[in-house]
Structure 1
């Protein structure tokens, strides 16, 4: 019986993939890259091997189609192949590995340390810059243009339940909560939440709750929100796909997800000075994330800086909708916002 119904792989491709995977370091690399998108530097840290050695192994894996790579400025990211017949073959190979294997467990432990270091770096940055957050956001095109585009995409209709992920100083809640019956803002930084709370109290908004929480494990019920916003957050994350999937789980059937972030750019200083992990996202990449999360793309805007904006960055907006259809109206109750 075929492992891959409806898919076939050429003999030479199977042989190349198996040969590439059949080496201890390369198999460890594949197991790690199936769990996280990583740079060469991070893989060197995890495996304790030299950069040239790791790079040679990655080159062989990429040539065999087992690893995907993309460059962003000075950084190159690697991820295990997940699509097509070769991706299925790799999934089967990795699925046979014992989860409690000592080597794999040690690698996972060091991967967790790398992820924790990223989280701590971002937390330090947010704590240090919380009071200047709105000024930092002015690095891109004028906020009025972004907010006008947000309003156009969302439309004028009321929102029953609004969820703002990575709420920061609460500007999206200040802008959109007045049209919502109920709004929730999530952020991991207590300093950010303190600023958001002050802003929302000054705005007189009483229909908003603020919660400290992890964007990868949201402290909200699934299937409860008809509008979720991720505004200028994904570029800080080591796993944007996971965050989009978690956001999609919070949506009701036919609910909508709006992502606002930078288009691809080459401003390396945003990594060194502002803790950005990604230098923007292409339309194809976000479309793929929405597709993977079970959402259809229903709208997109690219806000290119005008001459008076100087050398600021292009901001893109992507609007997705949950494919499920509401069979019956869902009554609005206190429980649905718990």
Structure 2
């Protein structure tokens, strides 16, 4: 067992986990963050019953809770003693058990539905996506902050995850030898290719790709950017881990997204899965992915702005130079072979 625990705490934790539904909840939350609503759909039980189980698990320290607007999300964190104890307990569970497998299938289906809703939104708004962004933030100021955070370069390979219209590839075109943008929306990719072609950016390309499973080898990118992407994802931490995987030693990950807010209409009307992110939340995800946080900056709207104008946050993380050992010539060959 990882770490040490007081005997009373162990007894309380084991009592909390020793109930079929609560054990199923722990297994689901070990696989990713879920809301009360998500769990009621997956498990087919009432909201009061699920809330009661979550309360007991939280009080026992086995799971953590955080709020986004009117929603609450829960997860098992390996940064806490209780979370590590929960993971030790779950390691004993047969993952091929019929009930466990069914819960996992329902959770996967729910996440797929949410991702599909986001893709439907992207396809409906591909041509005016830049305009929609401008409704919420001062894009000019954000782009200047992105430029300042990354510095002048040059970068061998810059990767833009959730590239959308390809604006980031266009903005930073003078700083990289090769740029790759990945997106799941074919409509977005078609629009981005058109823009890049018009701008005559031959060193920039866009590819259809899964942000959770990139078609790139390890350690190939000098810079990875995730601009206004995380709030659409059901598993932001997993996306950060994949971004960190492709970063070279000394490479940097820049995340640009909204600070926490309570504009609930963005969930239904604009497919936002998350209502912004607290600074510590993203920094912890970076640390869990092996990155060193280097910068966190908030860009607040000017006084007198409309209520819909949101604060934008930037996070910059760096891959430690000593974390991986790979010579430059081998990396250059990988770059040439990148898709």
- TM above 0.5, one fold? yes
Q: Please give the alpha-carbon distance, in whole angstroms, between the structure 2 residues aligned to 1:304 and 1:156.
A: 25
Q: Secondary structure at the match of 1:195?
A: helix
> Between Structure 1 and Structure 2, how many residues are aligned?
334
Spell out structure 1 runs of 4+ moving beyond 4 A. 326-329
Q: Does 1:319 align with 2:313?
A: no
Deviation larger for 62-71 or 239-248: 62-71
1:151-174 per-residue CA deviation (whole Å, 9 max, x = no partner) reads 111111311110000000000000
Aligned residues: CA RMSD: 1.5
1:49 match: 45
Q: Which runs of 5+ in 2 are unaligned?
A: none
The structure 1 residue matched to 2:36, chosen from 37, 40, 59, is 40
Aligned positions of 1:299-318 closer than 5 A = 299-307=295-303, 309-311=305-307, 312-318=309-315
Q: Please give the alpha-carbon distance, in whole angstroms, between the structure 2 residues aligned to 1:333 and 1:81.
A: 37
Deviation at 1:141, TM superposition (A): 2.6
Deviation at 1:309, TM superposition (A): 4.0
Q: Secondary structure at the match of 1:260?
A: strand
Deviation at 1:287, TM superposition (A): 0.7
Task: Sort the Cα spacing of 1:96 and 1:315 in 2 relative to 1 into closer, same or farther, 3 A.
Answer: same
Task: Sort the Cα spacing of 1:219 and 1:108 in 2 relative to 1 into closer, same or farther, 3 A.
Answer: same
The structure 2 residue matched to 1:96, chosen from 92, 99, 113, is 92
Aligned positions of 1:240-319 closer than 5 A = 240-307=236-303, 309-311=305-307, 312-319=309-316
Task: Sort the Cα spacing of 1:282 and 1:193 in 2 relative to 1 into closer, same or farther, 3 A.
Answer: same
Q: Which runs of 5+ in 1 are unaligned?
A: none
2:134 match: 138
1:27-49 per-residue CA deviation (whole Å, 9 max, x = no partner) reads 00000110021111111111111
Q: Does 1:25 align with 2:28?
A: no
Q: Please give the alpha-carbon distance, in whole angstroms, between the structure 1 residues aligned to 2:140 and 2:305.
A: 12
| TM-score of the pair, normalised by structure 2 | 0.95
Q: Please give the alpha-carbon distance, in whole angstroms, between the structure 2 residues aligned to 1:89 and 1:127.
A: 43
Q: Any conservation in 2 of the 1:178–1:205 contact (CA below 8 Å)?
A: no
Q: Please give the alpha-carbon distance, in whole angstroms, between the structure 2 residues aligned to 1:27 and 1:53.
A: 14
Task: Sort the Cα spacing of 1:309 and 1:174 in 2 relative to 1 into closer, same or farther, 3 A.
Answer: farther
Q: Please give the alpha-carbon distance, in whole angstroms, between the structure 1 residues aligned to 2:199 and 2:21.
A: 56
The structure 2 residue matched to 1:330, chosen from 323, 328, 331, is 328
1:218 match: 214
Q: Please give the alpha-carbon distance, in whole angstroms, between the structure 1 residues aligned to 2:314 and 2:64.
A: 26
Q: Please give the alpha-carbon distance, in whole angstroms, between the structure 1 residues aligned to 2:248 and 2:332.
A: 14
Q: Please give the alpha-carbon distance, in whole angstroms, between the structure 1 residues aligned to 2:70 and 2:285.
A: 24
Deviation at 1:119, TM superposition (A): 1.6
1:230 match: 226
Aligned positions of 1:13-162 closer than 5 A = 13-162=9-158
Q: Secondary structure at the match of 1:138?
A: helix
Q: Please give the alpha-carbon distance, in whole angstroms, between the structure 2 residues aligned to 1:121 and 1:228.
A: 25
The structure 1 residue matched to 2:189, chosen from 185, 190, 193, is 193
Q: Please give the alpha-carbon distance, in whole angstroms, between the structure 1 residues aligned to 2:170 and 2:30.
A: 39
Deviation at 1:308, TM superposition (A): 5.7
Deviation at 1:140, TM superposition (A): 2.7
Q: Any conservation in 2 of the 1:232–1:261 contact (CA below 8 Å)?
A: yes
1:92-126 per-residue CA deviation (whole Å, 9 max, x = no partner) reads 11001112111101111111111111121111111
Q: Any conservation in 2 of the 1:142–1:309 contact (CA below 8 Å)?
A: no
Q: Please give the alpha-carbon distance, in whole angstroms, between the structure 2 residues aligned to 1:141 and 1:119.
A: 23
| TM-score of the pair, normalised by structure 1 | 0.95
Q: Please give the alpha-carbon distance, in whole angstroms, between the structure 2 residues aligned to 1:223 and 1:175.
A: 24
Q: Any conservation in 1 of the 2:63–2:83 contact (CA below 8 Å)?
A: no
Q: Any conservation in 2 of the 1:37–1:239 contact (CA below 8 Å)?
A: yes
